[in-house]
Amino acid sequence: MINLASLFGKASPPLAGLDISTSGVRLVELADAGKGELRLERYAAEPLPRGAVVDGNIENIDQVSDAVRRVWKKSGTRARLVALGMPPAAVITKKIILPAGLSEDQLEVQVESEASQYIPFALDEVSLDFDVIGAAPNSSEDMEVMLAAARREKVEDRVAIAEAAGLTATVMDIESYAARSALERAASAKPGQITALFQLGAQATHMSVLIDGDSVYEREQPFGGTQLTQDIVRAYGLSFEEAEARKKSGDLPENYRADLLTPFLENAALEVTRAIQFFYTSTPYTRIDQLYLAGGCALVPGLVDIIAGRTRIPTAQVTPFQGMQLGAGVREQQLRQEGAAYLVACGLAMRRFG
């Protein structure tokens, strides 16, 4: 069986979470602070050239590995082991039911047999992993197993990036799973509460709806912060990189808010509202109790308020480091401003603790 880089396995410390997205790479290192608490030791981000990563695919390994080297150095971490993430669209997941009590070898044979029914590729072209969830519902003689598979070349691209930067990939997770783990730790939900997480990236927005920690709905749509950057490029004649930098710093002409930012916020709120309505019409659920926003685009000023107003659902930015102790080199004010962009990296870093 081709293992998906310990997708569900445990990693040996020290370990850094490394999130590679369309717009940049983000690194988080956590430590055990004792008594069940975590400490944020280090975090850092480094932008990527446009086109280095497109739709989750690594298009330029050299550019991405260079950015990984820079972010590793910038963070000050000494961790050489990293947990990486795969985009949800690049991984096929399926819950399957198998007889309980199988040996490890028997389980691998059964999983490969079942996988061939759900994976539209030859098994020698995929990286495959599985995790035994527990007893199957309504059957003590069976067990529920989560199967995960991805094209091997996509996994190997990420492993090669880590190696080119002098690092070792010991865990390969699914980005949406990592985000949910970090959210569950940072934002405790009441039993039965329906929570929607919107991860707003540069080019895509991923929606996950959770009940008691389990995902009941997932959807991805092509909307992200690059749209606003491109508007700035067209309006002010800037390069893409300069427009991105000025968008983050706010160093733009007076008409920026009225002419560009407000229409973008309106469009973002419309996209979120449509996604919620689609959730209502395609599932048995008729309510959402809490919205959380994460990702780099979630940092755009005014986004939380306009989405809360349009949806009439309590809305907040995710603060993935909520309740954590902070290392000596962590600047708390900067962390409050940028924290929502590190949800996936934080979830990946948590894999250090199994």
Tokens 């999983």 belong to 111
165 or 354: which leads in pLDDT:
165
Quickly name the fold that domain 188-317 has.
Nucleotidyltransferase; domain 5 (3.30.420)
Q: Extract the tokens encoding 148.
A: 């995960």
Summarised one tens digit per residue, pLDDT across range 152-181 is: 999 999 999 999 999 999 999 999 999 999
Q: Across residues 227-248, what is the average pLDDT?
A: 94
| CA separation, residue 178 to residues 87, 302, 345 (Å) | 11, 26, 8
pTM: 0.91
Asked if 239 and 49 touch (Cβ cutoff 8 Å), the reply is no
User: Is 12 a residue whose pLDDT tops 80?
Assistant: no
Residue 7 — very low, low, confident or very high, per pLDDT cuts 50/70/90?
low
- What architecture (CATH level 2) is domain 1-89+153-187+320-354? 2-Layer Sandwich (3.30)
Check residue 4 and give its pLDDT. Answer: 53
Question: Stretch 12-16: mean pLDDT, rounded?
Answer: 80
pLDDT score for 165: 96
Architecture of domain 90-152: 2-Layer Sandwich (3.30)
pLDDT for residue 2:
43
Give the whole-angstrom CA distance, residue 112 versus residue 16.
31
What confidence score (pLDDT) does residue 11 get? 45
The answer on pLDDT for 206 being more than 50 is yes
CATH 3.30.420.40 segments of the chain: 1-89+153-187+320-354, 188-317
Average pLDDT over residues 135-157: 90
pLDDT of 151: 92
Q: How far apart are CA 183 and CA 322, in angstroms?
A: 10
pLDDT in tens, 78-118: 999 999 999 998 998 888 899 998 888 888 888 888 888 88
Q: How confident is the model at residue 334 (pLDDT cuts 50, 70, 90)?
A: confident
According to CATH, where is 3.30.1490.300 located in the chain? Answer: 90-152
CA distance 330 to 346: 14
Q: How far is CA 104 from CA 65, 94, 298, in A?
A: 36, 19, 43
